[in-house]
């Protein structure tokens, strides 16, 4: 199915796309058909800068298990950072 569900958030940081590094301003997160991953549905994340056009995009397509593991790893890395660093 096409879920049509999309979480959108503002982000600050940089991403490396096909034309090199660029400044990120937005991310979208959605569970839908992947373009490339060999699964019927994946958790897809697009890191974007719409002001620089549609090609300013870093995309990942993860299985649900991988996506959950990634979310936990991000939280874990942030939680273990020395006080005052983040």
Which residues of this chain interact with other proteins, rule CB under 8 A? 1-6, 8, 26, 28, 30, 32-33, 35, 38-40, 46, 48, 50, 53-55, 57, 59
Q: Where are the beta strands (DSSP E) in 4-54?
A: 7-17, 20-32, 42-48
> How far is the C-alpha of 35 from the C-alpha of 46, rounded, in Å?
12
Q: Which residue's CB is nearer to other proteins, number 6 or number 14?
A: 6
Q: Could you tell me the smallest distance in angstroms from the CB atom of residue 20 to other proteins?
A: 15
Query: What are all long-range contacts of 62-65, with beta carbons under 8 Å and residues at least 24 apart?
Result: 62/37, 63/37, 63/39, 64/31
When the beta carbons of 1 and 85 are compared against other proteins, the nearer one is 1
Cα–Cα distance between 49 and 53 in angstroms, integer?
Answer: 7
Q: Which CB sits closer to other proteins, 14 or 77?
A: 14
Least Å from the CB of residue 11 to other proteins? 13
């Amino acid at each position: 199915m096409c879920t049509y569900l999309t979480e959108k958030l503002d982000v600050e940081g940089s991403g490396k796309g096909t034309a090199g590094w660029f400044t990120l301003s937005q991310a979208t997160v959605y569970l839908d058909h992947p373009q490339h991953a060999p699964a019927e549905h994946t958790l897809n994340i697009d890191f974007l800068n719409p002001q620089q056009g549609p090609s300013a995009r870093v995309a990942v397509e993860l299985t649900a298990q991988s996506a959950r593991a990634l979310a936990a790893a991000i939280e874990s890395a942030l939680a273990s950072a020395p006080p005052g660093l983040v």
